[in-house]
Amino acid sequence: MIHGFKPAALCLLPLITFLSSSSRVIRAQTVTVGSPQTMLTPSQRTGVRLSLSFPDGNMGAFLYHDTNYVFAPDGATRNTQGATVHDLNNWLSGVSVIHTKTNIHRGGKGAFDHNYAGGGAVYYDTSSGILIGLYHGEYWYNGDGSVFYSGHGLAYSNDLGVTWHKLGEVVSPQAARSGNCHVEVGTGTLVAVGDYLYDYYTDKATGCSGHVQISVARALISAVIAAARAGTPFTSGAGTLFMKYTGGDTWNGDGVTDLAMPRNGGGAFTALTAGNTFFEPNVAYSSYLDQYVMTYANSFASLEIRFSSDGLTWGNPTTLVGGGGSPPNGIYYPTLLNTSGGDPETLGSTFYVYYVHPFGDWSQSNLKRVQVTLEYDLEPPTNLQATVQ
C-alpha cells in the first residue's frame, strides 16, 4: 500500500501483435486493447457504500451461486472490504457491501501486521466451503506509513467473508526489518497451479539493497485447507507453509524465517523478471491461451502485461496503459478479471484489466478498466513475445 500520496492522464496502445516461437502457429496472434472506461468515481464508490479508498490494492474475486464476491484492502480502515457484485460490468447497481462481524485484526506491537491488515486475494474451496484470504500486513517505522515493511498473512472464513479467522504470516521479504528498510510486497495473488496455490508478490534481497522484484511462493492447496480446518495460528518456528521459488525446479526459500521474530524476514528467492521498478503483480490463468497472464504497475507510469506457459518463465513485457507517473499522476493496482460469466479469475479470449487512476489522492481516484481481446489463428502460442504496431 502507498500512503501519504496524492494521483492523472493516460495514453493507450490500441493494437499489439504477439509472435510465437511455435512452428505450429502460421500467423501472428493479436491483442487488442480498448479505450479506458471509468467504472466508479469517488462519489459513486461511496454511493454504493464502498470505501472511498477501495481498492487499496489488487482485487480478488470468486463466483458463488451466480454472484461475484469481490475483496480488496481498504486504505481507510486498513482492513479487508468485501462486496457482492451481480454484474462486474456494472458497479452502479447490484453491489452490496459485505458487513463483517470479525475482520482480519491487526497484530500487536512488533507484529508484521501491526499497522495494516487488508487483503484481496482469495481462493474458495468448493469441497469444504472454506474461503482462503491472503492479506497484506504492514509495520510502520514512523507510525505514519511513510516508510513501512510488509509481508503476507493468511486468514480463512467459513461464511463467505462475513467472519475472518487469522492464521498468521506466510511470506516475508528476504531483507530483514531493520533501520528504515522499506519493502512493499504488494497485495499478492492466489493462483491455483496444479496442486498448489501460487502467491505472486515483490521481494527484496538481504541487506535491503536495490529495488523490489517480482517473485513467487507456493503452498499445497491441501495443506492450506488443512491449516484452515485446524484453525491454529502460526506463532513459532519457521514459516514453511508457503515456500519461495529459488530457481530451476527448486522452492527452497522459507516463507518466513522465524514466525516468533517477524523482523528477521524470510528465505531466499529468485526474481521472475529482470525489471526492478515493478509493483503489485496480479496473475490469472487464461483458458483460451492455456497460459498464465501477469499484469503489474511499472513504477506509477504504466501497466504492463506478460504471458507464461508455466507461471515461472515470462515473456517480454508490453505496455497496456501509459501516461501516468509519480503520485498524484499514478496508474496502479491492476487486477485481471473475466466479466463474461463463470469464474471471474479464469480469463477467456476477452477480459478486463481494472486499475486505479489517478493514484494517490482518493478523493480524485477512479476505478477504471481497459478491455483486452486475444486472438490466435490456430493453436495457442507457447512463448508469447510482443511487438507493437
Domain 11-388 in CATH: superfamily? Glycosyl hydrolase domain; family 43 (2.115.10.20)
Amino acid code (one letter) for 293: V
Per residue in 271-302, pLDDT (tens digit) is 999 877 999 999 999 999 999 999 999 999 99
What is the domain partition of the chain in residue ranges? 11-388
Q: Is the pLDDT of residue 104 over 80?
A: yes
Q: Is the pLDDT of residue 3 over 80?
A: no
Per residue in 206-259, pLDDT (tens digit) is 999 889 999 999 999 999 999 999 999 999 999 999 999 999 999 999 999 999
Per residue in 312-332, pLDDT (tens digit) is 999 988 899 999 999 999 999
State the Cα–Cα distance between residues 371 and 31, nearest whole angstrom: 10
pLDDT confidence band for 377 (50 / 70 / 90): low
Q: Is the pLDDT of residue 4 over 50?
A: no
Q: In this structure, are residues 185 and 136 in contact, taking their beta carbons and an 8 Å threshold?
A: yes
Q: Give the global pTM.
A: 0.91
Q: Is the pLDDT of residue 94 over 80?
A: yes
Omega before 358 within 30 of 0, i.e. cis: yes
Percent of the chain with pLDDT over 90: 85
- The pLDDT of residue 281 is 98
- The pLDDT of residue 376 is 75
Nearest CA among 57, 35, 89, 15 for reference residue 323: 35
State the Cα–Cα distance between residues 359 and 115, nearest whole angstrom: 21
CB atoms near residue 242 (< 10 Å): 30
